[in-house]
């Protein structure tokens, strides 16, 4: 298990010196720590990652990002409080963060009296306080705290906040961070938010040579393929969790340390990101708040965060994200009135007023009832097809039709803007619509549009079914050579490797140009890796129509006539069925009469 031990405190509080002492290294002369430094702390008695964090206010976001992943926190208190932030802010951040144990280390002074008052009402009321010279006692306390850390969420659903991006020449891009949950596997696909991009993990490795295990709490480097570097930056989330998505306005459950004011300007630390925004606490539920940030961020339900007031600087509290979408409830907004004898009509009124769709909990909040109270009413509306649910986000059929048309319109605009790109991220289409659907809702809407044959889907990316990409001059020339080679073979289409050998070209290049040829409408992929030109298919259709006439035939008869094998004839027949050239009746087919 990857246990994270973070050392925090103001500038010049002695953090780096303490880390050197704990590691048994000679004490360094450090002037200013500007980023986090990670060390493997491994012995017969403990196994952890020790993190030395910056304390200067200019680099605080690095320290607070570490706090959100820290299991055991050590806060250093220096000889004076001249620096900003003071030790108090760091302690309040630890109280708000998901830290399991807190240890206080003082340097050149006794513990401030207000420290005990600050910790008394918290889970750290019995936190141990040591002088920096009590090295053995500090180590013993950390070892004991590490033993008390409980198991972390495992499994193959994982996510990680990116804290740095580097280029690996000719191999991809390397992103680094601490695994927040789960276990990434090399070779699998990963989603990246904001943006909803998809990449392949070529490799996953630990950034140290000490641990053989790699799990939540481990610092790792991932080499990503099939993505452009400009789409990667620190603060993004990479992972495989379905609920992960992007948002500008979300809800969180917060444990307040200071009472927030309505629409207060705040800083939000989430993942490795720090963004500004405004806070809208709920009058109905004291622990619930809606947060509108000034830029689109990546998040997922259950992710921890820290909220700080901007003016004056103050740690308001810490909590977790509960929903990636929220609707601003104005304080002076009129109470929603509805007939208690007819809740279904009240639900429909709400849905008709909100073109972007409404989540179940928001409907219940407006009506002042629980989800259990409305369970039968939701089921009735869905059964009567008067309302539709996409992962808990509700629409009336008319509203959904309008939203679907907007989705297709925004997708078409992206195709016009980037005519050489076949697929666009569904997340980007949603952003252009100015919508804040959660990941599950967006996936289900995309699946519905795909089922209606409006779009094609590749992972989390989409394209209009009738969109044809534009090829560059070199691509067009290369594809023409491939088409000539395919035409030479008739129905017995060659393998991609055979085309590459004939053209003396790398197999990867041929595979890529065939895919692009299909997206450009010049090739048709009838089965995985089997392509035909449009001219080949037209010739086959004329040949089959002349041979079959109006009679019925089966696959074996056509196989013998074309002197081929089932490997080719079955995919061709399925393509003919789909395109309407043939009509299937169980095991036989006939050529459809032209209109």
pLDDT in tens, 145-162: 998 887 776 777 899 999
215 lies in some domain: yes
Residue 384 has pLDDT above 50, yes or no: yes
Answer with the one of 239, 267, 294 that is the final residue of a domain.
Answer: 239
Tell me the sheet residues that pair with 254: 319
The H or E element spanning position 38 is: strand 37-42
Q: How far apart are CA 403 and CA 399, in angstroms?
A: 6
Whether residue 42 contacts residue 109, with contact meaning beta carbons closer than 8 Å, is answered with: no
Quote the DSSP letter at residue 334. Answer: P
pLDDT for 335 beyond 70: no
Cβ-contact 114, 88 below 8 angstroms: yes
Verify that 459 and 500 share a domain, yes or no: no
CATH number at residue 196: 2.40.30.10
Residue 386: give the domain boundaries: 343-395
Structural domains in the chain (count): 6
The pLDDT, as a whole number, for residue 544 is: 95
Q: What is the pLDDT of residue 211?
A: 41
Do residues 576 and 543 touch, judged by C-beta distance below 8 A? no
pLDDT of residue 30: 67
Q: In whole numbers, what is the pLDDT of the chain averaged over residues?
A: 89
| Per-residue confidence (pLDDT) for residue 209, from 0 to 100 | 47
Same domain assignment for residues 383 and 310: no
Q: What is the pLDDT of residue 558?
A: 94
Does residue 32 sit in the same domain as residue 64?
yes
What integer pLDDT is reported at residue 48 of this predicted model? 86
The pLDDT tens digits for 178-211 are 999 888 888 888 999 998 888 888 888 876 544 4
Give the model's pLDDT for residue 355. 81
Please report which helix (H) or strand (E) contains residue 389, including its range: strand 388-390
Residues 329-339, mean pLDDT to the nearest whole number: 67
183 found inside a domain: yes
The answer on 390 and 484 residing in a single domain is: no
In a domain, 101, yes or no: yes
376 half-sphere exposure, CB direction, 13 A CA radius: 3
Picking from 247, 267, 248, 245, the residue whose alpha carbon sits closest to that of residue 64 is 267
In this structure, what are the phi and psi dihedrals at residue 200, rounded to the nearest 5 degrees?
-105, 135
The answer to whether residue 328 is domain-embedded is no
Are both 137 and 29 inside the same structural domain? yes
Cis previous bond, 10, omega within 30: no
Q: Domain check: are 196 and 226 in the same one?
A: yes
Same domain? 142 vs 10: yes
Clarify whether residues 362 and 493 are in a common domain: no
For residue 210, what pLDDT is reported? 41
Compute the CA torsion angle 121, 126, 127, 133 (nearest 10 deg).
140
The H or E element containing residue 67 is helix 60-67
Asked whether residue 487 falls in the same domain as residue 585, the answer is yes
Domain membership of residue 154 (yes or no) is no
CATH code of the domain covering residue 507 = 1.10.10.10
The CATH number assigned to the domain holding 35 equals 3.40.50.300
Residues 6+ apart with CB under 8 A from 535: 483, 487
Q: Return phi, psi of residue 6, to 5°.
A: -105, 135
Q: Rank 55-59, 118-122, 204-208 by mean pLDDT and report only the highest.
A: 118-122
Indicate the range of 197-201, 266-270, 386-390, 421-425 predicted with least confidence. 197-201
CB of 312 within 8 A of CB of 254? Answer: no
What is the spatial distance between Cα 190 and Cα 365, in angstroms, rounded to a whole number? 35
SS3 at position 566: helix
Whether 31 and 114 share a structural domain: yes
Q: What CATH number is attached to the domain comprising 415?
A: 1.10.10
Looking at the fold, whether 28 and 56 belong to one and the same domain comes out as yes
Is 569 among the domain residues? yes
Whether residue 526 is found in the same domain as residue 545:
yes
Residue pLDDT, tens place only, 519-549 = 999 999 999 889 999 999 999 999 999 999 9
Q: What is the mean pLDDT of residues 46-53?
A: 87
pLDDT band at 569 (very low <50, low <70, confident <90, very high): very high
Q: In this predicted structure, which of 408-412, 414-418, 456-460 has the lowest mean pLDDT?
A: 456-460
Question: pLDDT-based confidence at 171, cuts 50/70/90?
Answer: confident
With beta carbons less than 8 A apart as the criterion, state whether 191 and 219 touch. Answer: no
- Residue of 144, 64, 134, 158 whose CA lies nearest to 102: 144
Asked if 222 and 174 touch (Cβ cutoff 8 Å), the reply is yes
Has residue 438 been placed in a domain?
A: yes
334 is a domain residue: no
């Amino acid at each position: 298990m990857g246990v994270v031990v973070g050392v925090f405190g103001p500038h010049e509080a002695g953090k780096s010196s303490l880390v050197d002492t704990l590691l048994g290294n000679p004490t360094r002369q450090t002037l200013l720590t500007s980023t986090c430094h990670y060390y493997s702390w491994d012995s017969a008695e403990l196994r952890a990652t020790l993190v030395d964090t910056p304390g200067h206010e200019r680099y605080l976001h690095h320290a607070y990002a570490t706090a959100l992943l820290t299991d055991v926190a050590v806060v250093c208190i220096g000889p004076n409080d001249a620096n900003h932030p003071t030790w108090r802010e760091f302690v309040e951040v630890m109280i708000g963060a998901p830290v399991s144990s807190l240890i206080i280390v003082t340097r050149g002074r006794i513990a401030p009296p207000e420290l005990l008052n600050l910790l008394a009402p918290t889970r750290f009321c019995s936190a141990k306080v040591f002088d920096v010279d009590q090295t053995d006692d500090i180590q013993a306390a950390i070892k004991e705290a590490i033993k008390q850390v409980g198991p972390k969420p495992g499994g193959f659903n994982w996510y990680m906040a990116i804290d740095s991006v580097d280029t690996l020449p000719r191999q991809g891009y390397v992103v680094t961070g601490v695994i927040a949950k789960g276990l990434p596997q090399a070779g699998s696909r990963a989603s990246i938010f904001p943006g909803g991009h998809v990449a392949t993990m070529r490799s996953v490795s630990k950034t140290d040579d000490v641990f053989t295990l790699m799990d939540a709490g481990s610092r790792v480097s991932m080499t990503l393929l099939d993505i452009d570097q400009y789409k990667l930056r620190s603060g993004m989330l990479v992972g495989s969790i379905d609920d992960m998505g992007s948002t500008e306005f979300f809800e969180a459950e917060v444990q307040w340390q200071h009472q927030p004011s309505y629409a207060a300007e705040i800083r939000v630390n989430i993942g490795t990101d720090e963004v500004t925004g405004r806070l809208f606490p709920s009058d109905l539920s004291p622990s619930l708040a809606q947060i509108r940030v000034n830029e689109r961020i990546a998040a997922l339900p259950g992710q921890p965060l820290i909220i700080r007031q901007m003016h004056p600087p103050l740690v308001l509290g810490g909590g977790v994200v509960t929903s990636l979408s929220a609707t601003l409830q104005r304080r002076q907004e009129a109470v929603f009135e509805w007939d208690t004898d007819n809740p279904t009509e009240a639900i429909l009124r709400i849905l008709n007023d909100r073109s972007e769709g409404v989540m179940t909990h928001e409907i219940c909040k407006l009506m002042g009832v629980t989800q259990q109270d409305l369970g039968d009413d939701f089921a009735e509306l869905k059964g009567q097809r008067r309302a539709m649910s996409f992962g808990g986000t509700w629409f009336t059929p008319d509203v959904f039709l309008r939203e679907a048309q907007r989705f297709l319109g925004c997708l078409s605009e992206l195709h016009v803007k980037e005519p050489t790109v076949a697929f666009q991220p569904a997340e980007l289409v949603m952003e252009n619509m100015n919508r804040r659907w959660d990941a599950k809702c967006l996936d289900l809407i995309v699946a519905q549009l795909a089922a209606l044959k409006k779009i094609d889907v590749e992972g989390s990316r989409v394209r209009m079914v009738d969109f044809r990409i534009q090829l560059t001059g070199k691509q067009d020339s290369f594809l023409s050579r491939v088409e000539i080679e395919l035409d030479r073979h008739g129905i017995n289409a060659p393998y991609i490797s055979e085309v590459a050998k004939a053209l003396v070209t790398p197999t990867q290049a041929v595979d890529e140009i065939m895919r692009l040829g299909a997206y450009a409408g010049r090739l048709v992929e009838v089965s995985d890796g089997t392509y035909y030109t449009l001219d080949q298919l037209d010739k086959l259709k004329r040949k089959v129509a002349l041979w079959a006439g109006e009679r019925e035939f089966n696959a074996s008869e056509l196989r013998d006539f074309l002197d081929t094998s089932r490997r080719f004839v079955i995919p061709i027949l399925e393509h003919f069925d789909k395109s309407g050239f043939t009509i299937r009746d169980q095991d036989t087919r006939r050529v459809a009469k032209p209109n």
